[in-house]
Structure 1
Amino acid sequence: MSDRRRPDDAVGTRRTAGVAESVIREMTREALSRDAINLSQGIPDVGETPTEIRTAAKEAIDAESQYTITWGLPDLREAVAERYAAWKGVEYDPETEVTITSGTSEAIMSTMLALAGPGDEVIYFEPVYESYIPASQFAGATAIPLDITDDLELDYDRLAAAAEDARILVLNTPMNPTGKVFTREELERIEEIVFEHDLILLTDEIYEHIVYTDEYLSPVEVGDLADRTVVCTGMSKTFSVTGWRVGFCLAPEYLSKELRKVHDYATICAPTPFQRAGVEALSLPDSYYEELSRSYERRRDLLYDGLVEVGLDPVRPDGAYYIMARYPTDEDDIEFCYRLIREAGVAAVPGSSFYTDPDADADWIRFTFSRNESTIRDALDRLRENRWW
């Protein structure tokens, strides 16, 4: 567009200033353009979605093409409430405390926009899933990142000090990108800090069924944290339907009524046929979830051992389906990832994208093992054959 046709004033606002395209999606686009194996974005291979769920979605397309109630299909909200009562031991009223969102990302964004604003501070632990950073900024809040890179352990004194002036604490467990699972002891200390400093806890639990340790707990299972917590989760990872965009947001009524205001006007409702399929998904037996974790544990071990073999330094995760790995060259992480795509035909994510500071000095990259074992083996073969580090 010519200068004459553009507005005289700068477009955009302080809320969007400095926010760039997701680096994860950028790596996916680059992988597609160069026919690289995509181990950057957490996308499962074709065929991972259970047949029963796909069938339910196809049938629902013929039967249900219009809006659901804004808060979600009643049958799905009831199924979510029943399942979470069984899984977590917490009762949620499906009418007032369960909201079906357009993916977990929308649940997080709606919560942040509803509960944080200018002058508020939002705490999260870095390295952190990249969407929490712009979500805080869009709300007008100030991000307070606490770096736990070195040992993935919490510094309770630093957390307590940060909490003195904060409004929201964001907790992702299992954690993306590190795979950290917060222990009971850590959650109990977090509970003390939440109540002492009058915080709201926003939890991202999208990987709750992809865990490799018996220590996993939802924060809402600890003490009275459920009374202060918005749980954001959904179907994407558990059922390998990342493109269906059906999220679950569970919270006490006093929090739900606020986030529902944003959800209502932002999206109206999640896709109706996929909500109907969600009812079928939540009827799957416990054995489904057990095999899900076993399957990803096998893939984790395959990728971990392979990365060690090709000369990288990975960290074995306790949950989720990502591995962070350090590389032994002097290249910055972004250049290393672009070179990995160009020369080895494998895509990963630069570690710096998981830090608030865009110039973070990160010497590691993230791989996903959401792909099937055959794809992972092919990627490892390419790394082995095209190694320059």
Structure 2
Amino acid sequence: MTDRSLPEDIVGADRTSGVAESVIREMTREALQQDAINLSQGIPDAGETPDTVEKAAKNAISTESQYTITWGLPDLRDAVSEQYAEWKSVEYDPETEVTITTGTSEAIMSTMLALAEKGDEVIYFEPVYESYIPASQFAGATAIPLDITDSLELDYNRLEAAAEDARILVLNTPMNPTGKVFTREELKRIEDIVFEHDLILLTDEIYEHIVYDENYLSPIEVGDLADRTVVCTGMSKTFSVTGWRVGFCLAPEYLSKELRKVHDYATICAPTPFQRAGVEALSLPDSYYTDLADAYESRRDRLYEGLCEAGLDPIKPDGAYYMMTRYPTNENDIEFCYRLIREAGVAAVPGSSFYTDPDAEADWIRFTFSRNESTLDEAIERLCENRWW
């Protein structure tokens, strides 16, 4: 059969050139093929979703399976607004300032496409969740990564210099992959820089309820930052429903009306039955969030001890459910991760995938402790029994 496909040099747009598939999802596929325990992607085990939330979704499939209005189910927007007023003491109008998106990733992408354009600069801290890198590129913006790997502390002089010509500052707190939680002092300094240089702050707060530091603050709770901030969060991590794809995007009306333009045409609306379940989820008592953080703290400590036992060098995070770990071999991080899957039967993510430079070298890898303790125990046993390092 004659090959009638187009020549490769005329296929594709500049905005996608050099963008590779997600390394995190690649590791998940490799884990499935090799029957390895997947500690690469942040996927909880079955049975983690609250029963009432799961039941609400099942019931809604029979009664609410058509489009909601683009901005989301009114009851859910009301619930999000009410909860943020209670949790953060910040008022958002559910009609004009709360948008239900198809996951937090879509909220970030819609925000970036709406508020950044060619020639704009976008600042973020590395190691960084990999989604921010293509989001900046798709918008035509120039990424300005600031590396904080060694100390996880901000260099305010570098941030100040980068902010002079920047448009957007991206902040992830708690941070994926490091688990860093930004302090009040750091957020105050960030507030000064945001207003001095007229920046928009895009915050990814999907792990806001998985924190082990009682002093955790959302950036919108600091000074007047809420006036310049787009908050991207959602249901995935808090309620163990990563496949439902229901995100929450909160921002002042002048920012919301712009990002809603992209959201409208990109996705129309988030899945309706799962939006309905979100109303039930946000009615859960405060004890749910306390128990959630306590459960993940226990898993964090178990994985930390297990990785130490296996001869690795982990760093205990202050939030989220990931753990950076150094390894004592001369292999690069990608080679080590593939070998880990094949020989130890456990999947992790190469550290280099969290850097803008496609040729970045990293001497660490990332594990997740989103799985239950029995899964973590089995993974630790495999690591201890099959170590070559």
SS at match of 2:14: coil
1:74 paired to 2:74: yes
- Partners of 2:358 and 2:44 lie apart in 1 by 28
- Partners of 1:159 and 1:348 lie apart in 2 by 31
SS at match of 1:357: coil
Q: Aligned letter for 2:365?
A: I
* 5+ residue gaps, structure 2: none
1:237 counterpart residue number: 237
Q: Aligned letter for 1:188?
A: K
SS at match of 1:144: strand
Q: Aligned letter for 2:109?
A: M
1:186 counterpart residue number: 186
- Deviations along 1:332-357, one digit per CA (max 9) or x if unpaired, are 00000000000000000000000001
2:214 counterpart residue number: 214
- Deviations along 1:16-36, one digit per CA (max 9) or x if unpaired, are 000011000000000000000
- Partners of 1:6 and 1:86 lie apart in 2 by 56
1:159 counterpart residue number: 159
1:145 counterpart residue number: 145
- Partners of 1:6 and 1:191 lie apart in 2 by 50
1:29 paired to 2:32: no
* 5+ residue gaps, structure 1: none
- Deviations along 1:120-154, one digit per CA (max 9) or x if unpaired, are 00000000000000000000000000000000000
- Partners of 1:216 and 1:147 lie apart in 2 by 22
SS at match of 1:323: strand
1:332 counterpart residue number: 332
- Partners of 1:307 and 1:75 lie apart in 2 by 44
SS at match of 1:238: coil
SS at match of 2:238: coil
Q: Aligned letter for 1:237?
A: K
- Partners of 2:230 and 2:249 lie apart in 1 by 7
SS at match of 2:287: helix
1:271 paired to 2:271: yes
TM norm structure 1: 0.99
Report the CA distance between 1:4 and its aligned residue.
3.2
Q: Aligned letter for 2:364?
A: W
1:295 counterpart residue number: 295
2:14 counterpart residue number: 14
SS at match of 1:171: strand
- Partners of 1:214 and 1:157 lie apart in 2 by 28
1:369 counterpart residue number: 369
Report the CA distance between 1:359 and its aligned residue.
1.1
Q: Aligned letter for 1:327?
A: Y
Report the CA distance between 1:6 and its aligned residue.
2.2
SS at match of 2:4: helix
Q: Aligned letter for 2:120?
A: D
- Partners of 2:303 and 2:30 lie apart in 1 by 22
1:99 counterpart residue number: 99
2:226 counterpart residue number: 226
SS at match of 2:214: coil
Report the CA distance between 1:91 and its aligned residue.
0.1
1:201 counterpart residue number: 201
Report the CA distance between 1:8 and its aligned residue.
7.4
Q: Aligned letter for 1:135?
A: A
1:315-326 matches, cutoff 5 A: 315-326=315-326
Contact 1:127-1:147 within 8 A present in 2 as well: yes
Report the CA distance between 1:14 and its aligned residue.
1.0
1:47 counterpart residue number: 47
Contact 1:109-1:135 within 8 A present in 2 as well: yes
Q: Aligned letter for 2:87?
A: W
CA 1:280 to 1:301, structure 2 compared with 1: closer, same or farther past 3 Å? same
Post-superposition, which runs of at least 4 consecutive aligned residues in structure 1 deviate over 4 A? Answer: none
2:358 counterpart residue number: 358
- Partners of 1:285 and 1:359 lie apart in 2 by 46
Contact 1:181-1:215 within 8 A present in 2 as well: no
1:128-143 matches, cutoff 5 A: 128-143=128-143
Report the CA distance between 1:3 and its aligned residue.
4.3
CA RMSD after TM alignment = 0.9
SS at match of 2:10: coil
SS at match of 1:360: coil
SS at match of 1:227: helix
- Partners of 2:25 and 2:254 lie apart in 1 by 35
- Partners of 1:198 and 1:180 lie apart in 2 by 25
2:259 counterpart residue number: 259
SS at match of 1:5: coil
Report the CA distance between 1:5 and its aligned residue.
3.2
2:388 counterpart residue number: 388
Report the CA distance between 1:225 and its aligned residue.
0.1
2:248 counterpart residue number: 248
Tell me how many residue pairs correspond in the alignment: 389
1:282 counterpart residue number: 282
1:4 counterpart residue number: 4
